[in-house]
Every structure is written in structure tokens, then in C-alpha cells.
Amino acid sequence: MSALEIRNVRKDFGRTRVLREVSLSIDSGEFLILVGPSGCGKSTLMNAIAGLEPVTDGSILIGNEEVTWRTPAERDIAMVFQSYALYPSMTVRQNIAFGLEMRKVPKAEREATVERVAKLLQITPLLDRKPSQLSGGQRQRVAMGRAIARQPTVYLFDEPLSNLDAKLRVEMRTEIKKLHQTLGTTIVYVTHDQIEAMTLADRIAVMREGRLLQLGTPDEVYNDPVDMFVASFMGSPSMNFIPAQLVRDEHGISLAIGAASDPYRLPFPAARTTPDLDAWVGRRVVLGLRPEHISERTPWGEEDANTHPLTTEVTVAEPTGADILLRVRLGEDEVNARVSPKQNVTPGDRLPLQVDMARAVLFDPERETRIA
């Protein structure tokens, strides 16, 4: 059953088109993340789902019921806001119970729910405090408690972690994931943080300029992006875009990188070539390679048909602890590579590396769309 369905939703603010024909559907119990740069329309879409802003055209269904013109209160939803939006004059207990009170839930039941939710989120000792007496992380928990108390069909999270410090953000991220697993709730979650998107989502919807570019599992969005925008938005450091020429030689289709006189050649995996690719032979394309696909040489790399050696100069080395991020020369450009921290790297060194082409992608340099 689809918990939430959005059909051809458009939203205009005067002449500005904020949402252009967005359609998507979320299954019950699914965790959907809307990502995109600021101004892409993800928050507007969220507000449209919540009923806080009317849509210009299209319809919204929650639990198979048309709710496009219903007030927020009449939709079976709860929302966690970026600023938490806790009622400043009420205690934590009153904050959590307010929605139930407005829906005329009997007092005894309200109290039982508050206790249950507080226990689940470990905020029982805070129940009689005011929001101003809480830390950022505690407020975040209370905001989630307020949403959970009502047990709605759909939960909306509007950048809920963006006001927390880095360490707390990671903790709360895990907490939210755990909560989703225990409660089996349907969640729509807006963020601009691609790591949050990758770690939390069942499916990710990448948005740009009011359009839904790609809707897929984190794995699909990461490894199989529909265009250069999605490819560059997901992953950090982002995918390398390497200008190359598509050529055909005795091994099949290859990419020639660098000076035309002495190019570095990378064969494109035969299994991934499509008939459409023939039209691109002899033309300029953009090769997309993630930094982790350019790494130190490994024993398996020498045997793998899709892995090719590359010895090149290192210009910058940035150790992150878990691994080392490198800037290395490739053809006439510099690209990002990721090597094990065991490597002893000094800028200026020539380092033997390998390029794993198994997940390489090709883009049209003009339209920035995917070609293979």
C-alpha cells in the first residue's frame, strides 16, 4: 500500500516555478529522503505534503485518500521542524501531549502515551522542563517525541539534524534509523546532507530546480546516477569528471585521456557497452570516476580485467585518518583519489595506482546526461 502519493504536483510563486510536475509514491514503512541544493524545491514539496502551502496543480494522497485541499490538521501527518518549534511556554510533557489534547484524546491515555514516548526516546527525566532548559540534542528528541506521540500515517522531517553539532548529528542519525526500524513508520525526510541521505534512506529523491531528477535506492543513486548533477551531488569528495575522447581499438571501446599525441588509454568494460555508444566513437565525452576507484595497487587489481595501472604524480595529500585523499595528475587535469592510510605519500612523488573501471560512467559533455 502506498502511504503517500504525489501526482504531478506544481507550485508557482508568482512567476517563479518552484515545483514542476513532481510525481512520486512512497510505500508504507518506507524511508524516503529528499535531497538537493538549497532552492531546489524540497522544502516546498514538504510543506505541500504537510498542507502548510497550497499547490498550484496536481494532487496529494495520504493513505490512498485525496488530501490536496485538506488543512494540515485533517491530514494524518506529523512533522519535525529544523528549529524544533517546541512551544516555549509549555513543559516537555505538555509539548508532547498537545497534539493529542487537540484531538480530544482522554487524559489518562494522553499521559500513558507521553510516558511511553518519553521512555522510548529516553527523555523521561526532562518531562517537566521547559524547552529553554534543554540542550539542542534534547530539544531534538522532544520534537521527535511530539511527532511520535500521535502515530500518524506519515512523518515529515525537515532538516532535523542541521542545527546540531557534528558529533551529535551522527548520534541522532543512528537514533533516527533505529527508531524507523523499531516503529516501522513511513518517513519523508528533507536534507541537503548527502551522507544523511545515503545512510538513512530506503530510497533517495534527488531534486534540482523544482524537478525530480532521480528516485532510487542509495546504491542506485550513488553508482548509477542519471546525470552529472546527481553524480556530483552524491559522494564526498565528489565524482571526478574527466574529459576524454571515445575511441575504438582492438580491445573494444576505450577512453583516451590527455594530449592527443600521447593519450592515457582506459578500456571501457565490454559488459557495460551499449549499441548507442557506437554513435559516440570519435567524440568528446566526460568520464565519471569516483575517488575510491583510483586507489593503490592491490593483488586482485592485477588479475581483474577492468582494473588498469596508472603511475602518476601526487600534488596534494590529505590524510583523514580512515584513508588518504589525494590530488593526482591524470592527463592534463588533476583528479581525486583515495588510498589506504598505510601508503607513504609525499606530494611530488610518483605513485603507482590502479583505476577500477567497473563502475565508471560516461556523460554527454553538453547536455550533462548519462550515456553509459
Question: Binding residues for another protein, per CB under 8 A?
Answer: 50, 52, 71-73, 77-79, 81-83, 85-90, 98-99, 102-103, 131-132, 146, 150
Return the number of the residue (32 or 100) whose C-beta is nearest another protein: 100
Q: Which amino acid is at 120?
A: L
Question: Minimal distance in Å, beta carbon 68 to another protein?
Answer: 16
Please tell me the total number of residues recorded for the chain in this structure.
Answer: 372
Residue at grid coordinates 575517488:
291
Return the number of the residue (190 or 289) whose C-beta is nearest another protein: 190
Distance between CA atoms of residues 365 and 253, nearest Å: 18
What are the b/e assignments for 168-189, b being 16+ CB within 10 Å? bbeebbebbeebbeeeebbbbb
Distance between CA atoms of residues 256 and 248, nearest Å: 10
Return the number of the residue (159 or 227) whose C-beta is nearest another protein: 159
Question: Minimal distance in Å, beta carbon 192 to another protein?
Answer: 17
Question: Minimal distance in Å, beta carbon 348 to another protein?
Answer: 51
Return the number of the residue (83 or 217) whose C-beta is nearest another protein: 83
User: Is cis: bond before 237, omega within 30 of 0?
Assistant: yes
- Per the CB < 8 A criterion, the answer to whether 149 and 97 are in contact is yes
For the four alpha carbons of 160, 166, 168 and 169, in that order, the dihedral sign comes to positive
Return the number of the residue (50 or 244) whose C-beta is nearest another protein: 50
Return the number of the residue (70 or 308) whose C-beta is nearest another protein: 70
Q: Are strands 65-66 and 57-62 parallel, antiparallel or unpaired?
A: antiparallel
Number of CB atoms found within 10 A of residue 17's CB? 16
Distance between CA atoms of residues 209 and 188, nearest Å: 19
Question: Minimal distance in Å, beta carbon 98 to another protein?
Answer: 5
Question: Minimal distance in Å, beta carbon 351 to another protein?
Answer: 51
Of the candidates 32, 142, 131, which has an alpha carbon nearest to the alpha carbon of residue 90?
Answer: 131
Number of CB atoms found within 10 A of residue 92's CB? 27
Number of CB atoms found within 10 A of residue 300's CB? 10
Return the number of the residue (87 or 300) whose C-beta is nearest another protein: 87
Q: Which residues 6+ apart lie within 8 Å of 99 measured at CB?
A: 78, 146, 149, 150
Question: Minimal distance in Å, beta carbon 89 to another protein?
Answer: 3
Return the number of the residue (132 or 274) whose C-beta is nearest another protein: 132
Return the number of the residue (7 or 130) whose C-beta is nearest another protein: 130
Question: Minimal distance in Å, beta carbon 141 to another protein?
Answer: 15
CA of 20: how far to CAs of 7, 11, 16, 277, in Å?
A: 11, 7, 10, 31
Question: Minimal distance in Å, beta carbon 346 to another protein?
Answer: 49
Question: Minimal distance in Å, beta carbon 99 to another protein?
Answer: 4
